[in-house]
Amino acid sequence: MKQQNLIREIFSGNAVIPIFAVVASFLFGGILIAFANEEVQEASGYFFSRPGDTISAVLNSVVGAYDALFRGSIFNYQASTAQGMIKPLTETLAFATPITLAGLGLAVSFRSGLFNIGAQGQIIFGAMFAGYVGLSFELPFLIHMPMAVLAGLLGGALWGGLVGLLKATTGANEVVVTIMFNYVALLLLTYLLKTPVFQAPNQVNPISSPVAESSRLPGILGDGFRLHFGLIIMLAMVVAVWWLMHRSSIGFQFRALGYNPSAARTAGINIPLTYILVMAVSGGLAGMAGASQVLGADRQLTVGISATFGFDAITVALLGRNNPFGVLAAGLLFGGLRSGAVLMQANQGVPVDIVLVVQSTIVLFIAAPPLVRSLFRLPKPKAVQA
């Protein structure tokens, strides 16, 4: 119950807190960038004789870094070709695809009062199922590709649904179980990549052959870009999840369970079954993120197939307030941070870690609305009466 209240508290409210949390985190990131900058350090040595130097060095470092972040993630106005100019945006979208898909899954579970933090494992299961179908068959594209994607959905749904089943039958806490399941999934993948099930023939590394051409998610803008059909699937899922949660009776029951389990029970909602369904839907969405990686982005199975998408997804769901469109916005932001960080390091020597710091401070600020409120002097939310 305590846990549920906390989740509810963090997720209630509107878009104001998330937006300010992002702004605050960027400001904080800027301070760190300035501190870590060599010119700033030098100039501050003679701060009292020439304070102007320090100030301009600070401005230069921060503006330079964030300019690089912008050019690396949205629009590179310094590029020589049109392709080069829009490339960053497509990279952002490519990164945003798995993060958003998994984030949608987590949003469904959070809304339903289940704290699923097993997206990482569910992505891996989705990737394994989709990869298996992609590696083992030769079929016409119109059958093979959808089948592989559905297999990914199924893999994630099974892995997630199993957690729901455990919770429904034994009362196991889903937080603990999903954490353990992340390890199990990763170890299983690592193991299978060393057996003929997945490992490419004549390979010593834990890596699979490329998935069949006919199972791949086709590229969108051609070979120069990493963008692929997974983006379209992701956008469709944003709408689908919105519909599920707000226009279907199933989503209505999910939300009722999330807000007030005892009222849901009194109203005849089958709680154990709903736990299983919620976790299956949640895992299925993460599974599609795995499918999108193995069939669209990497085109083969590796141990790093899920990167840190499953963990980023937690923040993205938080930041998006569990609203599918909010999750999309947050997913795009995180995709942008990831793709922009590369150029920021290359051009400005700002360590990629700064992006991690920004991401983490976002979590911190979101989890502490009063902190954000006092920082920006926002009014208190209206108290709820008994």
* Distance (Å) of CA 320 to CA 324, 362, 365, 374: 7, 12, 13, 21
Q: Give the C-alpha separation, 111 to 322, whole Å.
A: 6
Work out how close the CB of 1 gets to other proteins at its nearest, in angstroms, rounded to a whole number. 11
| Separation CA 225–CA 219 (nearest Å) | 8
Dihedral sign for Cα atoms in the order 105, 110, 114, 116: positive
C-beta of 262 vs 385, nearer to ligand ATP = 385
268 binding partner (options other proteins, ligand ATP, none; Cβ < 5 to 8 Å by kind) = other proteins
Task: Report the residue number, 380 or 382, with the smaller CB distance to ligand ATP.
Answer: 382
Q: 377 contacts which partner out of other proteins, ligand ATP, none, CB within 5 to 8 A by kind?
A: none
CA distance 75 to 70: 7
List binders of ligand ATP among 247-276 (CB under 6 A): none
Minimum CB separation of residue 330 from ligand ATP in Å reads 29
Can you give the C-alpha Rg of the chain in angstroms?
22
Which does residue 260 bind out of ligand ATP, other proteins, none, counting CB within 5 to 8 angstroms by kind?
other proteins
CB of 243 to other proteins, least distance (A): 9
Nearer to ligand ATP, 326 or 369 (CB): 369
Bridge partner residues of 228 (DSSP): 219
Binder of residue 80, out of other proteins, ligand ATP, none (CB less than 5 to 8 A by kind)? none
Q: How far is the CB of 186 from other proteins (least distance, A)?
A: 35
Q: What is the DSSP string of 17-63?
A: HHHHHHHHHHHHHHHHHHHH-HHHHHHHHTTTT-HHHHHHHHHHHHH
What's the one-letter identity of residue 42?
E
- Which of other proteins, ligand ATP, none interacts with 262 (beta carbon under 5 to 8 A by kind)? other proteins
Two tokens, residue 317: 């769901």
- Residues at the interface with other proteins (CB under 8 A): 8, 12, 247-250, 252-253, 255-256, 259-260, 262-270, 382-386
- Out of other proteins, ligand ATP, none, which partner does residue 253 contact, by CB within 5 to 8 A per kind? other proteins
**Type of residue numbered 297:** A
Q: In whole angstroms, what is the distance from residue 251 CA to residue 257 CA?
A: 10
What is the DSSP code (8-state) at residue 297?
Answer: I
> Quick one: what does residue 49 bind among other proteins, ligand ATP, none, with the CB cut-off 5 to 8 Å set by partner type?
none
Q: Quick one: 236 or 263, whose CB is closer to other proteins? A: 263
Distance, CA of 336 to CA of 68 (rounded, Å)? 12
What is the smallest separation between the CB atom of 360 and ligand ATP, expressed in angstroms? 34
Residue 218 or 381: which CB sits closer to ligand ATP? 381
Report helix, strand or coil for 199.
strand
Q: How far is the CB of 12 from ligand ATP (least distance, A)?
A: 13
Which partner in ligand ATP, other proteins, none is near 248 (CB below 5 to 8 A by kind)?
other proteins
* SS3 of residue 344 by DSSP: helix
Q: Are the C-beta atoms of residues 108 and 278 closer than 8 Å to each other? A: yes
Binding to ligand ATP (CB under 6 A): which residues in 357-386?
A: 382, 384-385
Closer CB to ligand ATP, 202 or 385, in the complex: 385
Q: Report the interface residues with ligand ATP, using CB under 6 A.
A: 382, 384-385
